[in-house]
Structure 1
Amino acid sequence: MQTPQGGFDVGTRLRQLRNARGLSQRELAKRAGVTNSTISLVEQNSVSPSVSSLKKILDALPVSISAFFAGEDTSQPRPFYRADELTEIGDGHLSWRLVAARQPGRSMSIIHERYPPGSDSGEEMFEHEGEEGGVVVAGEIEITVSEEVAVLGEGDAYYFDSRLPHRFRNIGEAECVIVSASTPPTFSDGGQERHHV
């Protein structure tokens, strides 16, 4: 499911899921705590929602981020993916490209993350079930986990319990690239929990 520009068609996928559950735009907006116009604009692909905004909307359905981007694809699992086959789940500013998004029964998420200088995962600290880890491939990133803060550079790594509040910020002058993994592969089970990607 792609837009004419070749990206994932977020609007059409959201409309399909909303209609399949018999919800109006107004009802979905109310459940998600967003405005009616937000749902309308997303469904028209007039705006690219942030990951956290999309997460709020999907929690109201409820549908995980992984299931949302997996779509209805029932293709057989395969071992290799080219760079242009990774599914973009970022917000247009931050780039998070998910490996094997359409593979049925995935038990982890592997994400190629790009943080432009000055970007961050948001003012709000994230908390969700599971564990996550990653390796900084280029640049540097400031990571806060609970009360601990560290600046990691190329080759440095992190691994923590995702139930601890956490936040990612690129405080450097160059793009930061991270390859991360998390388990389970969903952002949440329908609650208010969120992942930084």
Structure 2
Amino acid sequence: MGGFDVGERLKQLRLARQLSQRELAKRAGVTNSTISLIEQNSVSPSVSSLKKILDALPVSISEFFAGEELSQEQVFYRAEELTEIGDGTLSWKLVGARRPNRSMSIIHERYPPGADTGEEMLEHEGEEGGVIISGTIELTVGGEVQLLTAGDAYYFDSRLPHRFRNKSDNECVIVSANNPPSFSDGGTEQHHA
């Protein structure tokens, strides 16, 4: 995650909302020790568990990593200007995280071997689609599982439980889009384990 301090950022947001670790844990449906360990940076949360915690605040993932301030409407973005919203293992770089009134998310995703969005499937409002640029990914959507390779693509209703997992020995790169940008922006939708 480079220099980003996940634990400190979570603690700041929790305290700003005057929530105890116990209260936040209860709202998010995780154990008290989970919040404590994340805030101490003793454990790196998976995307799905961080999402549950942020939904309980509620704070969007892009707000969490980009900070609150919105930028001007930028048109071009250099690689280093993309906002990392991954979990320290898998990398998701969001285009225009601070853009005001953004109505979609475009994400450059990298999954090293073994990377997984988590056993607890992701579910959120909207639709998403993507194209596999290189490598192989196992994508589970609802009850279906497919192995996708470079050039293959997907498009599904994001309310269906879904999971991305790289079971190969090579990195997988995907460029995806979702709309509305609820996964990286809304905190209001409910998740069911």
Q: Under a length normalisation based on structure 1, what TM-score does the superposition of the two structures give? A: 0.84
CA distance in 1, matches of 2:31, 2:162: 27
Q: Determine if contact 2:52/2:191 at 8 Å carries over to the other structure.
A: no
In the alignment, structure 1 residue 179 sits paired with structure 2 residue 175: yes
- Residues 39 and 150 of structure 1: is their aligned pair in 2 closer, same or farther, counting only changes over 3 Å? closer
Deviation for aligned residue 1:77:
1.9
Amino acid at match of 2:17: R
Of 186, 193, 197, which residue of structure 1 is paired with 2:191? Answer: 193
Moved over 4 A (4+): none
Match of 1:32 in 2: 28
Provide structure 2 residue ranges, at least 5 long, that are not aligned to the other structure: none
Of 129, 138, 143, which residue of structure 1 is paired with 2:139? Answer: 143
Q: Determine if contact 1:66/1:185 at 8 Å carries over to the other structure.
A: no
CA distance in 1, matches of 2:2, 2:163: 30
Deviation for aligned residue 1:19:
2.0
Deviation for aligned residue 1:6:
4.9
In the alignment, structure 1 residue 8 sits paired with structure 2 residue 13: no
In the alignment, structure 1 residue 108 sits paired with structure 2 residue 104: yes
Amino acid at match of 2:163: R
Aligned length: 190
Of 29, 44, 47, which residue of structure 1 is paired with 2:43? Answer: 47
For residues 63-102 of structure 1, the C-alpha deviation after alignment (integer angstroms, 9 at most, x for no partner) is 2222322322232120122212222221222111111112
Q: CA RMSD in A?
A: 2.2
Give % identity.
76
For residues 41-71 of structure 1, the C-alpha deviation after alignment (integer angstroms, 9 at most, x for no partner) is 3233343222122112112112222232232
CA distance in 2, matches of 1:41, 1:149: 33
- Residues 124 and 63 of structure 1: is their aligned pair in 2 closer, same or farther, counting only changes over 3 Å? same
- Residues 47 and 169 of structure 1: is their aligned pair in 2 closer, same or farther, counting only changes over 3 Å? closer
In structure 2, the residue corresponding to 1:42 is in which secondary structure? helix
CA distance in 2, matches of 1:17, 1:40: 14
CA distance in 1, matches of 2:31, 2:141: 32
CA distance in 2, matches of 1:140, 1:129: 26
Q: Determine if contact 2:91/2:110 at 8 Å carries over to the other structure.
A: yes
Provide structure 1 residue ranges, at least 5 long, that are not aligned to the other structure: none
Amino acid at match of 2:58: P
Q: Determine if contact 2:28/2:53 at 8 Å carries over to the other structure.
A: yes
Amino acid at match of 2:76: F
- Residues 70 and 105 of structure 1: is their aligned pair in 2 closer, same or farther, counting only changes over 3 Å? farther
Q: Under a length normalisation based on structure 2, what TM-score does the superposition of the two structures give? A: 0.86
